[in-house]
Amino acid sequence: MEHVLQTKILEFINHFGDFGVFLGMLLESSIVPIPSEIIIIGAAAAGISVASIVIFGSLGATFGGIIGYLIGKYGAKPLMIKYGSLFL
Burial of 51 (0-12, 13-18, 19+ CB in 10 A): exposed
Residue 31: which of 75, 71, 73 has the closest Cα? 71
Burial of 87 (0-12, 13-18, 19+ CB in 10 A): exposed
Q: pLDDT digit string (tens) for 33-72?
A: 888 888 898 889 888 999 999 999 999 999 999 999 999 8
Domain housing 54: 2-87
pLDDT at 2 over 70: no
Helix (H) or strand (E) holding 54: helix 50-71
pLDDT at 17 over 70: yes
CA distance to 35, 48, 51, per residue, from 17 (Å):
18, 7, 13
Residue 45: which of 24, 14, 67 has the closest Cα? 14
Structural domain count, the chain:
1
